[in-house]
Structure 1
């Protein structure tokens, strides 16, 4: 009885919190939802998956000939609950970076022919293995949420994107809460956009379901984050065109507003929106030194090596303006630290020319080439000397 009363108390509290954050009431109409889900599914999810399928298939190609005469170590037994599955190490390692890392650690710690996977149910693991061998996405809508989680756990981005698409296609008042929780916990950003829009359009009906009550009891922190996203998403932004959302996202990145950036991404703003100079939101966050905005954009898969009309990357912008924390963030996100702009200047050239010692140090720590020459034949050290930046001369001149 206490749990039931507590659950209803939480529902009422969340409802009040959400309604106080709304700008306008949202009419509950199936036509609104249909338009929203169609847009998200077609424009966002499919563009994510289709463009990557060939790349993923090429990158994960396995030389099956390597399995011949590989001996007893060729296979491994995977244990998930009561399910035992036998698979080839080479296939699993080639398809999944997580399995590859598991096998490396097992080799270091001592040979083992068994792996216990306590976080994955047997039937789900069976479908994951089927995908790893065939690269064919299972068409099992009822299992899609669990497959999405497993795909995230094992680093299978293409399978994860397809599962997002399946979960979005079957959003309902009964499943929306669970879908929103999964989306937040596993950084499924397209699903998060769809779930937030759906819940906001059907708020009272969703909160009256058993699924919402279970989410509140089982994962209250994530539900609180979900409600914040719902409350922070103004209704009027949902109806804007893609171009308008993109312009607003660029403006929010310039401003450094993490909350605005998060809201616009939730309602479907294109993280790769470009201005008249082909600069995207990440370019502007880097140029202005807004490290948390840059982090949020990267979480939404912003292209860390995007180019503007002068062939500058976000790392060029951060280095030119001396924003060392952003330089470190971008470098940690696999930015190309030796990318050249239209004049052959790398980010290190820019930091040296402008006298930004901390940014230059961060680039060198990331592995930037101090000997690279631009189109004029200058190294970063040459530019530091020419502009009388003695600290940079000392840094770049030391080996």
Structure 2
């Protein structure tokens, strides 16, 4: 048995070298700008699709050229390499595309490997892609793992760009995925139906289940399909937890999550232990869209932290000129002082953010303002050798 295994391994290596050499190639595979020389016998032996293609009177069979329009060149290169060597590439970033290509050409072993790789690397950002791919290419293991993962991280996944992209590119698959997410397990469905006459509807769903989406009102079309379900989820949380999530969403710049939390009744003026609001956090991190969202929902533009910093102080401190401009356009006070008597211009000058300082000066910030230690913004710029700011403030 060991000798047979060695022979197979040697054959695979030899075939791999043959692919690179291109000697005696009878077929040219064209994928985009990539042209690959391959041997007809290898393609026919490995893939039932190629076998059918070359055993019938087709254009490919007569011309010796196969045009591939739906597989990118690098992916096709890896697919052919597998067909020659039977060794799956360990390229996790290519696994989704390679899985689809393997399914197309009937390479079930390669498809299984890609499915396993994707299942092992599931996270919030790629779960929607993995689940949709599993549905479209009949991958039961990946589907089971991905659906379970999404059920456990429902609102995080729904608020990702990955989910939004999936709703646009594969809407029917997302509809099916939504059904799998909200549907109770098969073994409990019958008992739930029997008990439904005795138990209120709100008690039929556990923490890992969602209400029936058909019973949920339709949200604005700019949101993903599960926006309303996310709103219901947030409404089920205690008020303080909703508010904490809102502050975290502001820090992350997660606009869709902010929208859902605010629709669920989160307090836009709520602060953390330092009295930092979601607007403070979004401004500090430079999230322009999140800042705009919060302002549109009534966030106080000059809200004060426990150190009397406004969101404008924090945006200037971090040098986020675009956020500074947005806050000023929303009537933020350019000369507000914190507990130390520092204005936003002091903070920009102290940390050398000339862009933010320029926007503040354009909006009437007082360059001669004095803090509690008697320093002006120019004094702070000089102390820290901020030459550009020294010229600007002189």
Scaled by the length of structure 1, the TM-score of the pair is 0.46
Higher helix share: 1
Which structure is larger by alpha-carbon Rg, 1 or 2?
A: 2
Scaled by the length of structure 2, the TM-score of the pair is 0.46
Q: Greater relative contact order (Cα 8 A, min sep 6): structure 1 or 2?
A: 1
